[in-house]
Amino acid sequence: MLRAALLALLLALPAQAEDRPDTVRPPPESPQGALATRPAPPESLDELLESVTGSWLFRKARVGLHIVDVTSGEEVFNRGGDLAMNPASTMKVVTSATALKMLGPSYRFSTNVYMNAEAEIDPAGVLRGNVYVKGHGDPTFVVEKLWKMVLDLKLMGVKRVEGSVVFDDSFHSGGAQLPGWNKPADLKVGPTYFSTLSALSLDMNVAVLVVGPGAEVGAAARVNLETPSAGYVTVDNQTRTGALGSRSWIEVTRVIKEDGTRFVVRGSVPAGTRRATIRRTVADPAAHFASAFEKQMEAQGIKVTGRWRKGRTPADSKLLVHVPSLTLGSILMDMNKYSLNFQAEQILRTLGAEVEGEGSTEAGLRVVEAYLSSLGVPSEGSVLVNGSGLSREAKIAPSALTAVLMDMARDPQVGSEFMGSLAIGGVDGTLWKRLRDEPGRLRGKTGTIDGVHCLTGYLDSDNGRRYAFAFMTNYGSDTRASMVRQVHDSFARLIFKMGAEGAD
């Protein structure tokens, strides 16, 4: 149930300016059957790729294309492959590979409830002492898990807490805002791809407004919060129910206050229409979590005599409820296939916490830099800003991405989980509607922000070989991402046909 709820939430959130998935289609049987023969690759790809490298893209944009034969480890093509460029969401390849290396595919995040060491639950259901709720950055913690967490307290016999409920988000540090992105419109509106961050996060730190028509024309439309809040998230409903067939329009303004996030909803919702959902991020994730926790405690009839506040969990506290996440390997499948920035940033901060003892973005990037250094990737020219790639300042070379791809391809411990996290061309994730005529032959990660479109991953060719590649494109405002995407797809089709009659 929880996995289904999380997946539904993931599909509702827009990826980083990329595409929605479709029904999974099985890959063809043909390309991999020839892998055992391992014929030699062509001496050079220059001639084969001439139609791509001679295209308008290489004249108008800053382009880096780097290709490595996975079997031999040889570089087979390099055109700007060592240029540091903006990676957009292909940065998630580096973040996920580092996480698999350092944390392992079976790593689980946790959210726990504790009580003071000296506290006890008496036969009457009174817990005398404080309750502590400590988060460890679980990016998959949703309201269904919160409901079960509080229900478990009730089932343990807790009816009353004679003390405070303390919320501990100290496992991560560095503030709630995703670093590296300061677009004014996003700071104002709070789109879901610009999620806030915290060790105590709920529903990806997104408030879901459910809007539907009222009981009669002229009455207020219905605007409800999908996750009940005890006051941190509030709604100012200024909508009206319109006549049948009238125009529907909804406008949401996010107002950030010191003690909450308020959404002012204006518009007209025609009678007879189905409900709609609108998603916006909250400013203070830990406060959002605490407010929802308080509401669930109220719903389960557990009374609290003390305060609801932030604080630290004493080291000697006794564990009451333990809520683990899905495994890291499973989380990465959602993160990379759907290009989810929130997951990438939570994972990066957790890398810092687990490896460096500091749960900040900066500490996480130090772990990433050490991993890249171990692969022989030079640090000169690279600028690592965050784990998701949502930044104008980030820069990394295509050859650095192929170095990561090669390391993952040859790692028997974590390579399978990494490969499984990538979108499959023509089948799923952000690549579901591309290369539909050649499904299953590309596994990769897309990356798109305004003026940037990148593609990296693995291509399987007719010559029986697999190629790791990074095709990064930074361009001006006069070029559409769809035009760049067409060149990328043309490149992939050329690599597919290597080994076919006349192709190499």
Mean pLDDT of residues grouped by 10 in the chain (504 residues)? 53 47 38 42 76 93 97 96 98 98 98 97 97 98 98 98 98 96 92 96 97 96 96 97 96 94 97 95 97 98 97 98 98 97 98 98 98 96 97 97 98 98 97 96 97 97 95 89 95 87 47
- CB 64 within 8 Å of CB 80: yes
CA dihedral (19, 20, 22, 25) positive or negative: positive
What is the reported pLDDT for 479?
A: 85
- The structure tokens 């043909």 sit at 30
For residue 422, give the amino acid letter: L
What is the reported pLDDT for 477?
A: 77
Radius of gyration of the chain from Cα atoms? 25
What is the reported pLDDT for 32?
A: 39
- The structure tokens 């030699």 sit at 40
Q: Which helix (H) or strand (E) holds 370?
A: helix 361-374
C-alpha 25/C-alpha 424 separation (Å) is 10
Domain boundaries, the chain: 33-85+397-402+423-504, 108-326
What is the reported pLDDT for 502?
A: 44
CA distances from 3 to 8, 140, 143, 343, 421 (A): 9, 9, 12, 15, 16
293-297-298 Cα angle (round to 5):
115
CATH top-level class of 108-326: alpha beta
Task: Please name the fold of domain 33-85+397-402+423-504.
Answer: Beta-lactamase (3.40.710)
What is the reported pLDDT for 478?
A: 76
What is the reported pLDDT for 45?
A: 84
Q: Which helix (H) or strand (E) holds 489?
A: helix 481-496
What is the reported pLDDT for 155?
A: 97
C-alpha 389/C-alpha 180 separation (Å) is 9
What is the reported pLDDT for 10?
A: 53
